[in-house]
Every structure is written in structure tokens, then in C-alpha cells.
Amino acid sequence: MSSALDDSKTTDASMDHELYTVQSPSDDIKDGPDHAEFIYKMSNEEFVRFVKLRVTNDSLFTGKRNSSTLAYRAILKELGLQREISASQARRKWENLKMKYKEMKNPPPGVSVNPTNWPWFSLMDDAMEGRLAGSEVTLDTSTVGDDSEYRPNNTSRKRSKRAREPDRSEIELFVEEDDMMSEEMGRDRVELDRDRDEMEQERAILESDKAAIEYERMVLEREKMVLDRERAGVERELAALDRDRASLEREKAAVERDRASVEYIRAQLEKERAILDRERAKLERERAILEQQRGMEKEEQTANLNDNTEGTDTSIPLVMEPASLERRQKFLNLFEKLIENF
């Protein structure tokens, strides 16, 4: 079962051999006068290790001069392919893999792509998402060694090939160089178009985000207006409450003044009641004296009648007349009732 799966992967990989294979001269012909090229095909195990080593040792690619060449040489030496594949070929291989992954991951608008048709999509997805970091050994470029241990880059091979072919005309060489430059420019143009499409997609996403933000801003502005109206209503209610509180304070002060006035009137009534009580006591004393005088007069009249004395009594009463006393008593009673009702 596993061998059949490997055969199917190998068959699928052969369809995209530009992504999985690199050109390399054979040991038995690269020393000959007619330098030829052949295709070196990585095994599945070598391919998987190459991807994992590239992701694990991404820190070696610092962007400095020759850092990329040294890093790829360290990876190829770890794989044992330093004489089969050059650093520039390994670089192109990795760039082609990333380009293929981006095409499958984010196809252009209107293009339908099934990533499962590419056997290495899952591996490259783990690599680009960082899930393969630390899955292989960490390498050091200080143990790379000199150039004699590695396969030369394509530029050196082209120069040596041109030097070994003195019979070819300069025009043919220029045509080959122009063709190579045209191919490189075509690849660069395709990559630029792809980057432009990605930028357009990102711009569309940003525009939609901007529209959403503007809508949220409008909603917030409306909510702010509603809150301002509610705040104004609350402030008006607070002002009305303050006015009511001031009115209550004034009414309270008026009630306090009325209470003080009532207390003063009550005190005056108490004084008048005390005076009235004294007048009543005086009146009772005068009434007792009057009753006593009446008894004495009756006794005298009775004695005079008994003695048959003649003449009239010309003595002046020492107290008030009964009618005047009764009127005064009625007046006091009425005044007392008036005080009690108040």
C-alpha cells in the first residue's frame, strides 16, 4: 500500500518536475569537454527533509551578502546533495515551491483550484504556517567548508560552458542570454502580477473594513446624539427639581415664620388668660361680699320692719349694683369662650 502511494506521489511529482527537480551535471560527464546537463530528481524523503530543514533554519537567511548561499549549502550538505545541487538551484526550487503554494492557496479571482491535486500542498501549508519549525536539526554555516566541496552555481557553469565552446558565435550567445533574461523577466512579471492581485484583494478587504468602520462611526454618532438629547432632558429635570427644592425651602421658611407667630400669639393668650383668671378671682370675691351685704341688708330691713321705724335709708352702698356685676360676669364668660375657641 505504501509503495503504491509512493509511486502515485512520484507520478504526480513528475508532472510538475520543474518544482521538484533540479538540473545537475553527472560526475562521469561534467569533466568531459562537452559539458552536458541532466535532471536530478529528489526522492520523497529528500524532498520532505529539504522543506523541513529550510523552515527550521530560516534564521540563517538574514539577508546579508552570501548568507543565503551559505545557508543552502549547509542544508544540501546535511542532505548529502552538495555535489548534486547548487545553492542557486536550491534557492530556485524553494521559490518555485512557494509560488506553487500561493497559487493553490490563493488562486486568482474566477479560478477554481483544488489544493488536494498537488501532493505537497499539505507539507507546504505546514511549512508556511510555521508548524514545521523545529522539526529538523538546527544547522550552522560555520562548518560549511570551501567552494570545492560544493557544486558551482549556474553562472559559473554557464561561464565555463561558454569558455569551452569557442566555436559558437557571439550572436548565438547573446540570443541565449536574451532568451534566459526573457524567461526570468516573464517569471518576474508573473510574480509581480500575482503580487498585484494579492494587493488588490487586500485593498478590497481594506475598503470593506473602511466601509464597516464608517458605518459603525455613523451608528456611534447617532447614539451620541440620542445620549446628548437624554442628557439635556435629565439636566432640565434636575433644574426643575432644583426649582421645586427652592420653592419647598421658601414654603418651609414661611411655615417656620407662621409657627413662630402662632407661638407668640399663644404666649399672649396665656398672659391674657392669667389676667382673666385674676379678674375672675376678684369677681368671685366681690360676689361673696355682695352676697354678704345682701344678707346684712335683709337683716336690717327685717329689723327695721320689726321696729316700725320711720323714714328712708339714705346710706350709700359700698359695692357695685347687681345688674352691673351680672353684665361684667357675662362679658368675662364670653371673652373666656372666645379664647378657648381660638
Position 243 confidence tier, pLDDT thresholds 50, 70, 90: very high
Q: In the structure grid, which three cell numbers stand for residue 72, read together?
A: 543552502
Position 342 confidence tier, pLDDT thresholds 50, 70, 90: low
How much is the pLDDT for 27? 39
3-state secondary structure of 287: helix
DSSP assigned state of 111? -
> Among 23-37, 73-87, 174-188, whose mean pLDDT is lowest?
23-37
Rounded to whole angstroms, the Cα distance separating 20 from 119 reads 11
pTM: 0.39
Strands (DSSP E) along 188-264, which ranges? none
> Among 2-11, 44-53, 105-114, whose mean pLDDT is lowest?
2-11
> Among 161-165, 212-216, 226-230, whose mean pLDDT is lowest?
161-165
Per-residue pLDDT tens over the stretch 85-95: 888 888 998 99
Rounded to whole angstroms, the Cα distance separating 258 from 318 reads 49
CB count in 10 Å sphere of residue 289 = 13
How much is the pLDDT for 308? 56
Backbone torsions φ then ψ of 156, nearest 5 degrees = -65, -40
In whole numbers, what is the pLDDT of the chain averaged over residues?
76
How much is the pLDDT for 327? 80
Question: Percent of the chain beyond pLDDT 70?
Answer: 71
Place of cell 360676689: 287
Position 295 confidence tier, pLDDT thresholds 50, 70, 90: confident
C-alpha distances out from residue 15 to 21, 114, 117, 281, Å: 11, 16, 11, 142
